């Protein structure tokens, strides 16, 4: 009985197994038929079909239509990454593939395919994710829609052209009347507005009634330097300041070259479709889609251009260009007159600046023509001065404090062909680091807090003349590069400005520092040092020309005797001996201060040095001598007491000492001298 039941169960299991085998065979047959059907569709489809492994960036299979459409052999396609077909659109391709993987399928007509012959085909792509068991792939059906895209573009252009034509025809008469009125308004504005800002503000407002624009510019051509300068601006400007008033760009290769050269207007309806030159890429990047530029013609010459631009495409027509050219004809003469007016105003300001500077310089007693001495070393130095003065060569004066570097600089200038022009002096050590750049190169209004007006710098004042840079070794490193550019190129920009200013200036520099050592320590630029050290002149210290001391003493006694109204007629031999053996660390300046103090102290006809003279029995070298700072402090106090502690004015101590009031106040502060009540 048990055996029969066991046989029955085995029989049942055998039947079930046969049924499963039959089902599997049926399923396999169905798969083969489906695969054969898929292969027929795959091979004979009118669309290109690609089987892609996105993870490996490989094409696994393609149908014949894909080879025909993409113009590649099948073997070549199977060896290529899918990105090679879309290499100009990688970001868009990756975004589409990611969307298909996330959603299971997708469609786009925004991608193009690059063919084997280099053509770019607009494509419609339908893609799905399929599971091949061991990996997940993507199947894409690609259709060439070039004809459709061309038809759509043509239809769009036709529709836009038709709409534009209807609009232009219906508004032509109205616009013509309005533009005649605008031309009359512009003519009246030109008569009543003389400066560039007010004129262009009114001009832009009037133009806005008939020409919609987001930006308007007036440019001026500098034919000497062949550059175009932004003369005036209305509307938005780039954040980088590339179109700020005063900015420049070369005429050659610019988008305005044809307008200026051919003296005819230029219209660009849509830069996204028809930009022809590289500078227009920048306009498009800044948001300008269409623009019109018209020449400003006066006396047959193109002075510049009048330009309007819009963020919208197809904003301007040939009629707009003709109208803007009419406006430009009116504006050209006004711009020409305005430039002449501004040039006169600039020259007037510069003349005023030079007069102010020269008046300040006249107040200081330089005595540049009085170089006292007969020593061999002094004559050798003066011979070098005479030799270099006749040239424009840069001179570097080297010497200790008080050796007369400024005196020699003035001698060089007054012996040079530039003597009729200005000699401008700058003490690089006396100016604060934050102001020295503005002092040397000037600044524009608003360049920094407190810059309430444009200021002309010392280099600009010295144009055609000479600039004396005293204490050049104290010039900050960041300004040394800018100074090097002026020496090499003769050009610079004011602080806060973008306009390049060219000058012809002869440079004389002076220092009491060892510049060679400073270059090794990184405190002075080697290239600037070599540029300054073209013709170095060493000024000998007073201790190296002791034979000149008696001459200098007599000269200073006479000078300050006349100035102070005293008759000092004799100088004791012991006094002269003491003066001759003293090493004079402050050189001629220290000697002058000592003699001036002595003249002040002298009550009779003999020069009295007071406490400065060594005590009896003590040699001059062993005597305790006052320091230069002590002598200067006592000297200033005596001058203040003589003038009732008045600093400025005709009867002030500054006048008596031959100093500017501001310089005297600075020295009083440094030496701790306080004004008495």
Say whether both 179 and 310 belong to one domain.
yes
Say whether both 327 and 398 belong to one domain.
no
Best mean pLDDT range from 181-185, 243-247, 365-369, 416-420: 416-420
Say whether both 552 and 435 belong to one domain.
no
In this structure, is residue 348 part of a structural domain? no
Which residue, of 495, 510, 538, is where some domain finishes?
A: 538
Read off the pLDDT band of 290 (50, 70, 90).
very high
What is the CATH number for 667? 1.10.8.60
In this structure, is residue 417 part of a structural domain? yes
Q: Averaged over 520-541, what is the pLDDT? A: 92
Say whether both 399 and 525 belong to one domain.
yes
User: Residue 616's pLDDT is what?
Assistant: 41
Say whether both 534 and 554 belong to one domain.
no
* pLDDT greater than 50 at residue 305: yes
Say whether both 206 and 311 belong to one domain.
yes
Give the whole-angstrom CA distance, residue 252 versus residue 228.
Answer: 9
Q: Are strands 227-235 and 248-250 parallel, antiparallel or unpaired?
A: antiparallel
For 362, residues 6+ apart whose C-beta sits below 8 A from its C-beta are: none
Greatest CA span in the chain, whole angstroms? 165
Which residue, of 492, 511, 538, is where some domain finishes?
A: 538
Give the whole-angstrom CA distance, residue 477 versus residue 416.
Answer: 30
* pLDDT greater than 80 at residue 488: yes
* pLDDT greater than 70 at residue 172: no
- Beta bridge partners of residue 227, listed in sequence order: 222, 250
User: Residue 457's pLDDT is what?
Assistant: 87
* pLDDT greater than 50 at residue 623: no
* pLDDT greater than 90 at residue 397: yes
In this structure, is residue 375 part of a structural domain? yes
Containing 31, the helix (H) or strand (E) segment is helix 2-44
Q: Averaged over 615-627, what is the pLDDT? A: 48
Q: What are phi and psi of 622, to 5 degrees?
A: -90, -15
In this structure, is residue 89 part of a structural domain? yes
* pLDDT greater than 50 at residue 363: no
pLDDT tens across 189-238, in order? 666 665 667 777 778 887 777 788 888 888 888 888 888 888 778 887 76
Q: Averaged over 490-519, what is the pLDDT? A: 90
Q: Could you tell me the two tokens for 465?
A: 């003349």
Q: Where is average pLDDT lowest: 3-7, 104-108, 326-330?
A: 3-7
Q: Averaged over 30-55, what is the pLDDT? A: 73
Q: Are strands 290-298 and 266-268 parallel, antiparallel or unpaired?
A: antiparallel
The 3-state secondary structure of 615-673, one letter per residue: CCCCCCCCCCCCCHHHHHHHHHHHHHHHCCCCCCCCCCHHHHHCCCHHHHHHHHHHHCC
Task: Give the chain's mean pLDDT.
Answer: 82
User: Residue 677's pLDDT is what?
Assistant: 45
User: Residue 620's pLDDT is what?
Assistant: 43
What is the CATH number for 510? 3.40.50.300
User: Residue 67's pLDDT is what?
Assistant: 92
Contact of 507 with 394, CB cutoff 8 Å: yes
* pLDDT greater than 50 at residue 622: no
Say whether both 33 and 62 belong to one domain.
no
In this structure, is residue 122 part of a structural domain? yes
**Chain position carrying tokens 């051509």:** 221
Read off the pLDDT band of 264 (50, 70, 90).
very high
- Domain of 564 in residue numbering reads as 547-671
User: Residue 614's pLDDT is what?
Assistant: 43
Say whether both 113 and 253 belong to one domain.
no
Say whether both 436 and 523 belong to one domain.
yes
Read off the pLDDT band of 435 (50, 70, 90).
confident
Which residue, of 477, 507, 538, is where some domain finishes?
A: 538
User: Residue 174's pLDDT is what?
Assistant: 66
Read off the pLDDT band of 368 (50, 70, 90).
very low
SS3 54: coil
Q: Where is average pLDDT lowest: 82-91, 162-171, 207-216, 395-404?
A: 162-171
User: Residue 244's pLDDT is what?
Assistant: 74
SS3 96: helix
User: Residue 565's pLDDT is what?
Assistant: 85
Say whether both 14 and 56 belong to one domain.
no
When comparing pLDDT for 328 and 63, which is higher? 63
Q: What total number of domains does the chain contain? A: 5
User: Residue 240's pLDDT is what?
Assistant: 57
Measured CA distances, 45 to 140, 201, 368, 623, 645 (Å): 12, 66, 101, 116, 108
For 245, residues 6+ apart whose C-beta sits below 8 A from its C-beta are: 230, 231, 232, 233
User: Residue 14's pLDDT is what?
Assistant: 77
User: Residue 675's pLDDT is what?
Assistant: 67
pLDDT tens across 128-142, in order? 998 877 778 899 999
When comparing pLDDT for 543 and 369, which is higher? 543
* pLDDT greater than 90 at residue 510: yes
Say whether both 370 and 507 belong to one domain.
yes
Give the whole-angstrom CA distance, residue 617 versus residue 623.
Answer: 10
Give the whole-angstrom CA distance, residue 588 versus residue 365.
Answer: 15
In this structure, is residue 130 part of a structural domain? yes
What is the CATH number for 181? 3.30.450.40
Q: Could you tell me the two tokens for 381?
A: 């130095």
Say whether both 497 and 560 belong to one domain.
no
In this structure, is residue 533 part of a structural domain? yes
User: Residue 360's pLDDT is what?
Assistant: 45
Angle between helices 318-362 and 196-207 (to 10 degrees): 160
Read off the pLDDT band of 293 (50, 70, 90).
very high
**Chain position carrying tokens 């750049």:** 437
* pLDDT greater than 50 at residue 598: yes
User: Residue 540's pLDDT is what?
Assistant: 92
pLDDT tens across 469-483, in order? 999 988 888 888 899
* pLDDT greater than 70 at residue 296: yes
Give the whole-angstrom CA distance, residue 541 versus residue 539.
Answer: 7
In this structure, is residue 129 part of a structural domain? yes
């Amino acid at each position: 009985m048990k055996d029969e039941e066991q046989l029955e169960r085995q029989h049942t299991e055998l039947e079930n197994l046969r049924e499963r085998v039959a089902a599997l065979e049926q399923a396999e047959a169905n798969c083969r038929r489906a695969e054969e059907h898929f292969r027929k569709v795959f091979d004979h489809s009118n669309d290109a079909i690609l089987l892609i492994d996105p993870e490996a960036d490989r094409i696994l299979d393609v149908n014949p239509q894909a080879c025909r459409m993409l113009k590649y052999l099948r073997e070549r396609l199977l060896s290529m990454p899918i990105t090679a077909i879309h290499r100009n659109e990688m970001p868009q391709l990756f975004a589409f593939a990611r969307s298909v993987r996330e959603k299971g399928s997708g469609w786009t007509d925004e991608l193009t395919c690059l063919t084997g012959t280099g053509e770019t085909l607009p494509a419609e792509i339908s893609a799905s994710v399929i599971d091949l068991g061991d990996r997940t792939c993507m199947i894409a059906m690609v259709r060439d829609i070039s004809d459709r895209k061309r038809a759509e573009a043509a239809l769009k252009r036709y529709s836009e052209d038709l709409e534009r034509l209807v609009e232009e025809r219906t508004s032509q008469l109205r616009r013509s009347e309005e533009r005649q009125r605008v031309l009359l308004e512009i003519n009246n504005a030109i008569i009543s507005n003389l400066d560039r800002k007010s004129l262009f503000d009114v001009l832009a407002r009037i133009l806005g009634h008939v020409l919609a624009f987001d930006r308007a510019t007036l440019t001026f051509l500098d034919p000497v330097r062949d550059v175009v300068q932004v003369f005036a601006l209305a509307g938005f400007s780039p954040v980088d300041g590339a179109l700020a008033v005063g900015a420049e760009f070369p005429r050659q290769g610019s988008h305005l070259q044809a307008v200026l050269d051919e003296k005819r207007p230029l219209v660009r309806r849509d830069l996204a479709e028809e930009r022809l030159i590289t500078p227009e890429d920048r306009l498009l990047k800044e948001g300008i889609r269409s623009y019109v530029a018209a020449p400003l013609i006066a006396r047959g010459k193109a002075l510049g251009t009048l330009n309007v631009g819009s963020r919208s495409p197809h904003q301007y027509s040939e009629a707009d260009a003709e109208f803007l050219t009419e406006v430009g004809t009116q504006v050209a003469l006004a711009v020409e007159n305005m430039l002449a007016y501004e040039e006169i105003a600039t020259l007037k300001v510069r003349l005023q600046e030079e007069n102010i500077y020269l008046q300040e310089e006249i107040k200081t007693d330089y005595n540049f023509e009085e170089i006292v001495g007969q020593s061999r070393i002094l004559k050798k130095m003066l011979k070098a001065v005479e030799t270099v003065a006749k040239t424009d060569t840069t001179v570097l004066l080297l010497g200790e404090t008080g050796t007369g570097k400024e005196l020699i600089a003035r001698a060089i200038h007054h012996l040079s062909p530039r003597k009729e022009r200005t000699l401008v002096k700058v003490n690089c050590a006396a100016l604060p680091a934050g102001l020295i750049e503005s002092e040397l190169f000037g600044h524009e209004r608003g360049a920094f807090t407190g810059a309430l007006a444009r200021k002309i710098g010392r280099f600009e004042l010295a144009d055609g003349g000479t600039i004396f840079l005293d204490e050049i070794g104290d010039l900050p490193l960041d300004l040394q590069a800018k100074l090097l550019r002026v020496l090499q190129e003769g050009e610079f920009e004011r602080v806060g400005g973008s306009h390049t200013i060219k000058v012809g200036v002869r440079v004389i520099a002076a220092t009491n520092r060892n510049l060679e050592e400073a270059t090794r320590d990184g405190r002075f630029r080697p290239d600037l040092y070599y540029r300054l050290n073209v013709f170095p002149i060493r000024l000998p210290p007073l201790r190296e020309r002791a034979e000149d001391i008696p001459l200098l003493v007599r000269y200073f006694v006479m000078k300050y005797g006349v100035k102070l109204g005293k008759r000092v007629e004799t100088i004791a031999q012991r006094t002269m001996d003491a003066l001759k053996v003293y090493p004079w660390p402050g050189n001629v300046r220290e000697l002058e201060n000592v003699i001036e103090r002595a003249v002040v102290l002298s009550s009779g006809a003999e020069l009295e040095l007071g406490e400065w003279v060594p005590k009896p029995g003590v040699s001059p070298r062993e005597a305790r001598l006052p320091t230069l700072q002590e002598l200067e402090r006592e000297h200033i106090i005596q001058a203040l007491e003589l003038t009732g502690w008045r600093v400025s004015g005709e009867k002030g101590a500054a006048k008596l000492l031959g100093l500017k009031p501001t310089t005297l106040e600075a020295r009083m502060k440094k030496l701790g001298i306080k004004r008495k009540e």
